[in-house]
A and B are shown apart, each in its own frame.
Chain A
Amino acid sequence: MNKTININLGGFFFHIDEPAYHILKKYLEAIANSLSDDPNGKDEILADIEARISELLSEKIQDNRQVVNEEDIQSIIKIMGQPEDYADVDEGYTEYHSSYQRKSTVSKKMFRDGDDKFLGGVASGIGHYFNVDAIWIRILFILLLPAGGFSVYTYIILWVLVPEAKTTAEKLQMQGEPVNIDNIEKKIRTEFENVSNKIKNADYSGAKSVFQNFIDVLGKILLRFFQLISKFIGIVLILLSIVLLVAFIISAFSFSTLEFIGLNEGLMSNLPFIYQSVLPSWLLYTCLFVAIGIPLSMVFYLGTRIVSKSVKQMSKVVSLTLLGIWIVSFLILVFTGVEYHSQNAYNGSKVYSNTLPITPKDTLSIKIINNDNLFFQNRLYRNNDQTLVTSNGEEKIYSNHLYFDIKKSENDSIYLKIRKKSEGSNHQNAIENADAIDYNYQLNNKQLVLDSYFLSPIQNRFRNESITITLYITNGTTLYLNNSTRNFINHYPNTKGVNISKLIDHHLLMTPSGLDCTDCNIQTSNTNI
């Protein structure tokens, strides 16, 4: 007596008894397996095959018999052929070269062996995988026990992560045997024999089974516990990656929109390498996006995989493609980083020396002014900040990185030295970059008017550029430092022995012993106290 099952095969309705149903099901699964090289046509081919099988079956069931039995299925398999016969004919030409190889390289999968287990079947699973008797793996686990509980952790982790071989196909994969009808049948038969043997020997194994049951229950509780923990970890991973992804996408969008509408001043201190690279900035932004986005998406995907078993494993093609894209963009970024560092590896400066048409007895007043039309500054002082400005329709970097020095002239002339400093990929390049700095001053009727800023091309933004103005004056020349120089001037020794910033807005005479303030009453009294 057999149970029957109702099936719909290719649009026909059949009663089929249980053993026959299992054989048919395994058969169709095996066909699907052997067609897996051809993912496009697979479903269509399977539908055709099902239709044909149903046709053959309905020809067979024309007598009074109503139920499809094992014999019918076997004869149909005889007509249709073994699953191997379904492999595409293309392979036919090379079949007997590859068929032997295929047997030896049948993909083995790690499963826990539920039929041969002491705790969770981990050891016997490993044994199957490496073709070693499970007892050696068990001995290894026990020997490693004193080593800081390492084997305990390993065992528990493997117990949780490695699935148990449940279906016949999985059991065959575990043992590294190809999944085909013959093997499935063989396997089912030996399993059946095992079960009947066990029943026969039930009396002997009774004592052990109590212990085994206890272990099984304990194992199930542990397993459940770790599954819960792993679900929790999965949820944390999902939430984390979503937050990061959203933040990342928003920031990426704001970057690119800022870039588009030209409001990228805020970016000036960010992502320096992007502005100096030989590669276009859109490519670098894309790479940055990919290099961060792909790992984040993978974390998200991992989380969903942990939480839900129904999320499918990523196909090899997809994962390899993603990996490839990631590696490429990572390499581009590394290249850009190296490029950026080598870009600024050398310092260089360009010095201009201009004699000022001033006689030593004159009084030279010095003023530092800003161009408020370019960039308004409430308070002028030396600093390293940079701002994007438009000068004569061209975008330039505006900087107040200006040093002002006073020195004694070695000859009889009064002159100004302007030293422009920059960096570059080599010395020559650094000098060229320094030369590209745009700096101006004016001499109006014995008043030296220095610009408080310099302009530089955008691509030299991160080269740590600066300007040093050195005024060389002779003995007997009087200087008058305007208040505006206060925040730029470097110290110079003076007869009052105070910081030069205290001598601003006074007349200073250059003497052999330093600058002498000729109208500083307060300073004198200060030094007396």
Chain B
Amino acid sequence: MKIENTKAQMRKGVLEYCILSILKNGDAYTSEILSSLKNAEMIVVEGTIYPLLTRLKNAGLLSYRWEESTSGPPRKYYVLTENGSIFLKELHQTWGNLVNAVNQITSTKNKENE
């Protein structure tokens, strides 16, 4: 078992949550989403994101519009839909619970180790 695989899977699991959160702060186009995710080191390669975006869009959580750009062809701006916001709220709650749970487990482990 490779450590890289496990790390990548941990990240992938929360990737949807992160994308929806980014869009909650305002519409964004693909490169903006990518740079936020990369800055936070959520993704290593960009390729992962495209199927995911399309899947979220097809699920009705996202929609997009085309916007003219000054430096090239029009850009795809992703927008969070109403369903997306509801989805995000639930993910937010789950995430909170998950963080608490994981913290609890790891901190007791640490105490035992001490």
Contacts and interface: CB of A to CB of B under 8 A. Distances in A.
B103 interface: no
B100 interface: no
Nearest to B51: A88
Contacts of B15: 89
Nearest to B72: A12
Contacts, number: 83
B54 to A, nearest CB: 4
B76 A51 contact: yes
B47 A89 contact: no
Given A10-B73, A89-B15, A31 B30 contact: no
A92 B50 contact: no
B72 A58 contact: yes
Contacts of A45: 50-51, 54
A87 B12 CA distance: 12
Interface string A1-20: 00000000011100000000
B9 interface: yes
B42 interface: no
A81 B45 CA distance: 5
Contact of B31 (A11, A52, A87, A92): A52
B12 A92 contact: yes
Interface stretch (A33-41, A167-175, A271-279): A33-41
B43 to A, nearest CB: 9
Contact of A49 (B8, B50, B71): B50
B46 A81 contact: yes
B8 A92 contact: yes
Contacts of A31: 47
Of the candidates B13, B50, B51, B52, the one having the most CB atoms from chain A within 10 angstroms of its own CB is: B51
A33 to B, nearest CB: 13
Chain B interface main SS type:
helix
A80 B34 CA distance: 11
B44 interface: yes
B92 interface: no
B104 interface: no
A58 B31 CA distance: 13
A153 to B, nearest CB: 48
Contacts of B50: 45, 48-49, 52, 86
Contacts of B44: 81
Given A41-B55, A52-B30, A52-B31, A86 B47 contact: yes
B48 A85 contact: yes
Contacts of B54: 41, 44-45, 48
B70 interface: no
A48 B53 contact: yes
B46 A95 contact: no
B25 interface: no
B12 A89 contact: yes
B9 A95 contact: yes
A82 B31 CA distance: 19
B110 interface: no
Interface string B47-67: 110111111001000000000
Interface of A: 10-12, 31, 35, 38, 40-41, 44-45, 48-49, 51-52, 54-55, 58, 78-83, 85-90, 92-93, 95-96
20 contacts: A10-B73, A11-B72, A12-B72, A12-B73, A38-B55, A41-B55, A48-B54, A48-B76, A51-B30, A52-B30, A58-B72, A81-B46, A81-B47, A89-B51, A89-B55, A92-B12, A93-B9, A93-B13, A96-B1, A96-B5
6 pairs of A and B residues whose beta carbons are closest in the complex:
A81-B45, A11-B73, A81-B47, A41-B54, A85-B47, A92-B12
